[in-house]
Each structure stands twice: as C-alpha cells, then as structure tokens.
Amino acid sequence: MPSLTLAELQARLGGSVRGDGSVLLDAVASLETARANQLGFLLGRKLLAQARSSGAGALIIPESLGEPLSQPCLAVANPHASIARALALFYPEASAAAGIDPNAHVAADCEIDATASIGPGCVVEAGARIGARSVLGPNCVIGARAVLGADCHLHARVTVQHGCVVGNRVVLHPGCVIGSDGFGLAWENESWFKVPQVGRAILGDDVEVGANTTIDRGALDDTVIEDGVKLDNQIQIAHNCHIGKHSAIAACVGIAGSTRIGAYCQIGGAAMIIGHLEIADRVTISAGTFVAKNIKEAGTYTSVQPLMRHGDWLRNASHLRHLDDLAQRIKSLEKQLEQP
C-alpha cells in the first residue's frame, strides 16, 4: 500500500488542510480502530466525541465543521466522496496480467484485445468481442456475438449471454447474469408455451452490477441499463425494462417487465415494482415499498406499514378485512345526514 502525507492527499482530493500536513498515512480505518498511521473520517457532528477520542493520525471532515479537533484534518465539501477516493488511493486494485489462460476456451473467431485478461475456466463463444484492458475472472461465460467494452472487470462466474452489449468501465460482481431469458409464456391447451426472447440486454458505461443480480434480455426490444447505474446484489430486472442514467437500486428489489425508471432515481432494498409502469426522474422509493401505479413527479414515495407488536397487527388486520363494508356504511350515514 502506498504512503501519502495529508498534504499529498489534499493535492489529489482537494479541500484544505487544518493542522500538520506532513503526517504520514498508509491506510484508512474507522474512528474506533484507527491508529496514528491511518486516516479516519467524520461525516457529521453526531460522531464528534468519537472523533476527538480516536487514535487516527488524521481525519477527513466536512468543511462546514467549525469545532476544533486535536488531529490534523482535511476539510472537504463532500466527505463521503472524498473518503471513497482516498480508499482507492490507499488500496489500488491489483492489475491482471494480459493474455488468455491456457484453461480458458475461446472460439477462433473472437476479437479479444491484446491487453485484455481472460482467466481460467472462462468460455468466450463465437463472434464475441472483448475490449482493451478488460478482465474476466475465473469461470466467466461470454456468449456468442456479445460485446464487452474497455476497462471492464468481470469477477468470477459472471455470464453475459449471446448478443448482449456491455459498455466501458463496467463492473460485474460474482454470479451475476446479463441477458438471461425473460419470463415470457403464453397459455395454450391447458399448458404454458415459451415465448422466445429475441431482444438483448444493453448496459451503458460505468455501470456496476452486484453479486447474483439478474438482468433479463428483452422479448422483442432490448432491456436497457443506462450509463452510471449502480445495482446491488440479488436484484431481478425483467425483460424490456429501461433504467435511466445514474439511478441506484439496493438489494433484493424486483422490477417486473416493461417498466421504465427515470434518471437519478433511488430505490430502497426489497422494493417491488409491477410491470408496464413509468417512474419519473429523481424519484426515491423507500425500502420495502410496493409500487403498483405510475409515478409522474419527482419525490420520495413510501408504502410500508410501520412496525408494531404482533397483537396490534392482528387487531388492525381484522379491521382491514371489513374496511370496504365500513366505507359503505359511512357513505350511507352521510346520505342520511344530507336528507332534510
């Protein structure tokens, strides 16, 4: 790991140094565990007392923080983003050696850039293309005619199915599947008949897809994930969905087919979105929310019932079963009151 002074960090991250800029740092740690050679961080005033007692050699803090601290500090406008960049400086990713592992199987007509790295057990099928400096971890599968851009990193056991397109600087975590068949079925003669899924899945630049997340290919048109989208683990995105640029979706979200989600949206964990909906730009959907209608305006939307004791929930649930009857009785009473 490299060592940097606080002043050298300031030159790379911006902000302003408060205190001794010559303190030498070689790692990032939490306030609780940081030592004199490590950089800690304070995102807000709530942990101010903990920061003062921390053993960190220096701290990244909000530039709005006026309270004095005994440690040297780097004051920045966005501490969260700055600590992320500091982590990248102190813990650079190991570069993979260019070339094709002898235990990989690569079709003869593939186009693989000489600077790409193809790991052991990988399968690259006919007509696939892999861009410069892209890395395939062990046991990845790139389907026929699929396209992978430059500077991508596919961790172990990633599958990019036939004909799909992955942009530049895309990160695909272990076990994720790009371009699996959508759940297309037709009912005929008292049984289900599979509808061929002939579209593609297309990922833009700077997309990140979490472990075991699945993005289905389109039925006829394509499933599209625009630039900068970040997807957590174990998400299901069904066929023909369209996710707008720089949206972020947390774990275990399910999005049914042909739903369009706008740009800069945020969707909390375990939210469920039914199919054929339109969700506007800059919408935030709270964790666990069930979305069953279009959302036409930016804002935060929630439909989670607050936690309560089980006995209270049972009593309230019993009332819910009679809600329609109660509403009808109220309407009847209102009509009676309106009569002269």
Q: Note down the domain range covering 325.
A: 310-340
Tokens representing residue 229 in the block: 């989208």
- In this structure, are 314 and 235 located in the same domain? no
Total domains present in the chain: 3
Summarize pLDDT for 248-276 with one digit per residue, the tens: 999 999 999 999 999 999 999 999 999 99
Summarize pLDDT for 30-49 with one digit per residue, the tens: 999 999 999 999 998 899 99
Summarize pLDDT for 198-254 with one digit per residue, the tens: 999 999 999 999 999 999 999 999 999 999 999 999 999 999 999 999 999 999 999
Task: Work out the burial of residue 156: count CB atoms within 10 Å of its CB; fewer than 13 is exposed, 13-18 middle, 19 or more buried.
Answer: middle
What mean pLDDT do residues 149-161 have? 98
What mean pLDDT do residues 68-83 have? 95
DSSP string, 40-51: EE--SGGGHHHH
Domain at 292, CATH number: 2.160.10.10
Domain at 67, CATH number: 3.40.1390.10
Q: Is the pTM of this model over 0.75?
A: yes
- In this structure, are 59 and 205 located in the same domain? no
Choosing from 239, 242, 276, 310, the catalytic residue is 239
- In this structure, are 103 and 81 located in the same domain? no
Torsion of CA 51, 55, 58, 62, to 10 degrees: -10
Contacts by 91-94, CB closer than 8 A, 24 or more apart: 91/1, 91/28, 92/2, 93/153
Tokens representing residue 89 in the block: 């400086």
Round to whole Å and give the CA distance between 198 and 180: 11
- In this structure, are 39 and 144 located in the same domain? no
Round to whole Å and give the CA distance between 273 and 173: 24
**pLDDT for res 340:** 67
pLDDT above 70 coverage of the chain, percent: 99
Summarize pLDDT for 296-336 with one digit per residue, the tens: 999 999 987 777 899 998 998 888 888 999 999 999 998 88
Highest mean pLDDT, choosing among 63-77, 128-142, 292-306: 128-142
- In this structure, are 129 and 250 located in the same domain? yes
What mean pLDDT do residues 59-71 have? 93
- In this structure, are 182 and 162 located in the same domain? yes
- In this structure, are 260 and 332 located in the same domain? no
- In this structure, are 223 and 338 located in the same domain? no
- In the residue annotation, 239 being an active-site residue is answered as yes
- In this structure, are 109 and 222 located in the same domain? yes
- In this structure, are 117 and 165 located in the same domain? yes
**pLDDT for res 57:** 96
What mean pLDDT do residues 13-35 have? 96
Whether 12 has a pLDDT exceeding 70, the answer reads yes
Summarize pLDDT for 165-199 with one digit per residue, the tens: 999 999 999 999 999 999 999 999 999 999 999 99
- In this structure, are 172 and 216 located in the same domain? yes
